[in-house]
Amino acid sequence: MLTKNMKTIVFWLISLPLFYTLCGFVILPWWVRTQLPSLLHEKVGILLSVEHVRFNPFTFEVNLESLALLDSNATKALSIGHVYLNYDPSALFKKEFSIKAVHIDNPDIDLSLDQEGSLKLLKLFPNTQTQEQENNASETTTSLTMPLIVKHVEIHNAHTLFQDPRGEHPFQFEIGPISYTADNLSFYKDDLSLHAIKAVLQNEEKLSIASSLIIEPLIFYGELNLTKLPLSTLWGYTLSALPAKLSKGDLTLRIPFWIDLSKNSPSVLIEKGSLLVENTEFTDANQSVIQIPSLKLDGIDFDLQASHVTIAEASLTQPNIRLQLEKAYHVNFERLFTPASKTNPTDKNTATSSSSTTSSPWSFALRRLYVDSARVHVVDQNVKSSPIDCAPLSLIVDNITNDTHQTIAFDLNGTIDKEASLKLKGTFLPARSSLDMRIVADTLSLEKTQPYLKPFTTALIQDGYVSLDTLLKASFDQQTKLDVQGDITVSKFSLADRFKTPLVAWESLNLSALSYTLDPEVMRIQKIMLDKPYVNLDIKKDHSTNFADLLVQQKAPPTTTHDQKSVSKESALTLFLGNISLKRGTAHFQDATLPIPFATFADNLNGSLSTLDTKSTKPSTLKIEGKVDKYGYAKIDSTLLPFDIKNHANLKIIFKNIAMPKLTPYSGKFVGYAIKEGKLSLDLNYKIKKGLMEGQNKINLDSLVLGEKIESEDALNLPLDLAIALLKDSKGQIDLDLPVSGDLNDPEFRYGSVVWKAIGNLIGGIVTSPFKLLGSLLGIEAENLQSIDFAAGEAVLIASEEEKMAQYRQILEKRSALKLLITPSYNETLDMQALKENNITAQIEQKLSKNSTEDAYARAVQKLFVQKYGDDAYGTLMKQCKEEQLDPPAINDRLIAKIAETVVIDPAVLHALAQKRAEAIVQKLAKSYNIAPERLIKQEVQAVDAQRESWIGCAISISN
């Protein structure tokens, strides 16, 4: 019995190990290799293939060769060349599931997408698990009491290939070989495991991760390093909708991280990370638009729970940017970096919902941005202009943050087109839209602005530079505020018309201590210095000037009166200008409206203008002196309100030793003669008030000699020889006091025309008003000598005209060559009415008896009316008078007025009356004042206007 039992024991002692050995070495590998794939395919639909399986039941080592997951086309989706696993069963006594080592060699994963954008690999694992099974699995997982420990894991030579066949250009990205090691991978609480990953991207070692992992609770930390990852391929795939193309660029990244997933709210921290993007280039239609040799971010801190991102410093080295202003002044980057396809509305909803669930807003801070040796090439496609090249540019910006209550500081220094420089330094507070900045610029070219002025002016800026040093304070919060203070210089400025003829130029214009505020709108300039200014004024044949057509007419929308009033009120500017000085000025004047074109120049002009203040009624003092033509002299010493000259100005102007032959174009036009010789000196005093100019001109003509006659339509037919002979003294001097006046509000006002017209009027007065000139020469009152007045209908001289007769005799006695011209005159209205009244009076007198009363006069008028119109007409008229309650004298006047309508006077009677008046004058002068009849010449009869509505004057003039 014992023997039999021993045999049984021995049998099992031998059989069981043999069977265990047989199962471990043969049966299990066979089952895994042949039966397990079929079982997986049948139960879960997974196609698995294993070429070789080895298991050592004594060392618990498993080796799998050529393991692969297949898709429906028997193509490998995941393959592993070799898997080695070493299990430690002794750990079961510690209630642990322990694996000593795991080695995986040559894994290859196909991460291809199908045409629907789904990962093919995921389709190999059908999702057949129900919600109840998922919950049970979850409960089972969380209830495991035997922790898993993997002491060492190694993965060698792993590869993966990501492919996306969608899109115009299929995309693929290869990662590998990848190596991974892990030590002490434990599910014990607070146990720490070490991990290291190295990966080759696009055939170069790029990615490495060294980390530590605690599975319970789930915490891992470490450092991720990415070296020179080419971005162009990824950009083309992920951002293909952007028109901008990234042709090259390498990314280097170092991210120290801490991730804690043990709590309800995950914690992700990054401390002092860094990022470097090198040799970046963006292109637009194969043209480079952005080149950045180096973009570096240092001190990157990220806190998921605090929703905060901080970057200590961002630096760009030698960026080269081609900025284009496209149609309607849209920047090319707006187009290049805006997706071509429209955003899906569902995406907007998703974004909205996701943002609404965010627990706290994110905060961002970039402590310093530094741009070194940048170049910005600006091309404006809206105008025909040369590009602007800004290089080198350096920029420092501190404290860029989304906290609008934090002040951002900036400092920009740059060179523009190799000559100009620009410096901007200041601060900006986003919460108040407040800007505080110092602007320093040197030799900024004004010529560059010319293309932008073309829609508004035909003038051409040919040269000019602006230099300034100003402080700018601006706020665009609820109410726009602006404050500018500093100095501005505009040098070597030159403005020409569209034919490139110079209009205005100067060597330098300095505005010192300039101050401008917007609310209230006040501008103050303490000192203005203008050196070597030049002005060219050209009056053309059509009477326009070379300044007239400089502005291009703009179409403005109609504005109501209310709008205009509000605009004018808001645009009221308080202006204060301190001392203004002028040095070495030059002016050129040309007038082509004259029969002979006139041109002159003035140079060496120096002067000053005292304070101008729109808030003060104190006049400013203007002083200017300089040379006119070759030997002339000019001086202006005046007081005026510069902003309201039409309302108030007192001008004192002196011209001395002006060569009069140069004035021939004006004398030829206005008086019809050239000037052969002579010098002109003027002492002019003008007073302007409310747009009306009154001037007293003292004129001295030295040795004036007229030249040849010049035909001119505007010239007055004046007896200049006689006038000069009367005015010139024994020394060849002619001194005149010439008053002039004009309305500056008249757009046709021309000062030269006014002066020459006054001179012409003075000389023409010899013909048109000879008595005025003779009266001033002879010392007699001559204002009323132009006519002899008569009462209407009468030819009898009245007593008031006796004085005139004596003055006529005095003139003729002292000017023996003169004659009086007497014009017989009548006024058709007054004389005709008087003659009719005389006729009616005579008819009434005939019907009155010698002892007539007032009633007899009324009856005579009645009889005369009835004789003219009849009894019925008389009755009707009397009825009207009774209704109007007229008294007897008024009734008589009404009847006489009607009778007058029937009286007809022959026009010849008027002519006879005029002749009688002229003859009465002749007889009076000849008989009473002993004037020879041959010096009294009667003219043709003329109808004239009444004087003072009562008198008819017979015109008296003088002839030689």
Q: How far apart are alpha carbons 662 and 675 in whole angstroms? A: 8
Q: Is the dihedral of CA 727, 731, 734, 735 positive or negative?
A: negative
pLDDT score, position 434? 92
pLDDT of residue 33: 81
CA distances to 44, 299, 622, 624, 819 from 652, in Å: 113, 75, 10, 11, 42
Tell me the CA distances in angstroms from 593 to 540, 596, 599, 752, one per residue in order.
6, 8, 11, 12
Alpha-carbon dihedral sign for residues 555, 560, 565, 567: negative
* pTM more than 0.85: no
The number of angstroms, rounded, from the C-alpha of 456 to the middle of its chain's C-alpha atoms is 11
Integer Cα distance of 295 and 366 in angstroms:
14
Is the sign of the CA dihedral 58, 63, 69, 74 positive or negative? negative
| Cα–Cα dist 61/56, whole Å | 5
pLDDT at 701: 84
User: Which amino acid, 789?
Assistant: D
**pLDDT for position 832:** 83
pLDDT number for residue 881: 85
Alpha-carbon distance 153 to 197, whole Å? Answer: 11
DSSP tag of 798: P
| DSSP class of 278 | E
How far, CA to CA in Å, does 617 sit from each of 588, 611, 644, 687, 938?
Answer: 33, 11, 10, 17, 60
**Cα–Cα nearest to 94, from 20, 159, 149:** 149
Strands (E), 501-543: 502-517, 522-531, 534-539
User: What is the structure's pLDDT at 138?
Assistant: 45
In this prediction, residue 569 carries a pLDDT of: 45
- Token pair, residue 669, equals 């036009």
According to DSSP, the β-strands at 388-401 and 408-416 are antiparallel
In 3D, which of 587, 657, 566, 582 has the Cα closest to residue 622? 582
Q: State residue 347's pLDDT score.
A: 44
The dihedral formed by the CA atoms of 105, 108, 109 and 112, expressed in degrees to the nearest 10 = 170
Beta strands in 610-723 (DSSP E): 612-613, 620-628, 632-640, 648-659, 673-689, 692-709
On whether the CB atoms of residues 587 and 530 are closer than 8 A, the answer is no
Q: What is the predicted pLDDT for the residue at 1? A: 53
pLDDT, residue 124, reads 67
| Element of type H or E holding 9 | helix 2-22
For the chain (960 residues), the mean pLDDT of every run of 10, in chain order, is 70 76 81 82 80 86 87 77 87 79 88 77 61 47 63 87 79 82 79 79 75 79 87 81 88 90 85 93 91 94 90 95 89 85 44 45 92 94 89 95 92 93 95 93 92 89 94 88 94 92 94 90 92 90 82 66 46 83 90 76 89 82 88 86 79 86 80 85 84 83 84 74 60 76 75 66 64 69 82 87 85 73 89 81 73 70 80 83 82 79 80 90 89 90 84 83
Per-residue pLDDT at 392: 94
Contact criterion met (CB below 8 Å) for 960 and 722 = yes
